[in-house]
């Protein structure tokens, strides 16, 4: 089985960077201005059957805001979800995403008591071609 994780990471990062009006980071600089989006944790598990190798992937997108209240972070999560689900990801020639959608979405107040943190978990089922 081959891993689709690098190709998928690049596809998600580029889609967010090209379509959101917020800064998008793979590695957040120390003095990044709010609001911004960062690439978070990735988990994967085997999703193969006896004929086709595959992987289930959950990619976490972190959305950060210091707006007082939840309005901005909710707008950010909505925009990111729309961008992610608007069209299929091109993972060819090695992989194909056969399903994609929201796994979960959570908004929390960070430990500093000021920062709002949106945690969008995006799930994909990927077949190896």
**pLDDT confidence of residue 104:** 98
Mean pLDDT of 25-46: 97
Nearest alpha carbon to residue 37 among 24, 26, 28: 24
Residue 89: which domain range?
5-128
- Number of structural domains found in the chain: 1
Give the domain CATH number at 78. 3.30.2000.30
User: What does pTM read for this prediction?
Assistant: 0.94
Each residue of 49-94: pLDDT tens digit? 889 999 999 999 999 999 999 999 999 999 999 999 999 999 999 9
């Amino acid at each position: 089985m081959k891993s689709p994780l690098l190709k998928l990471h690049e596809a998600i990062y580029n889609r967010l960077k090209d379509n959101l009006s917020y800064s998008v980071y793979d590695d957040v600089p120390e003095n990044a201005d709010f609001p911004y989006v960062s690439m978070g944790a990735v988990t994967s598990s085997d999703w193969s059957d006896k004929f086709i190798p595959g992987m289930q992937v959950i990619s976490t997108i972190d959305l950060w805001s210091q707006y007082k209240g939840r309005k901005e972070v909710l707008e950010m999560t909505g925009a990111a979800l729309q961008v992610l689900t608007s069209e299929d990801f091109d993972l060819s020639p090695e992989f194909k995403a056969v399903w994609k959608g929201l796994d979960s979405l959570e908004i929390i107040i960070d430990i500093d008591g000021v920062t709002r943190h949106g945690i969008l978990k995006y799930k994909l089922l990927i077949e190896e071609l």
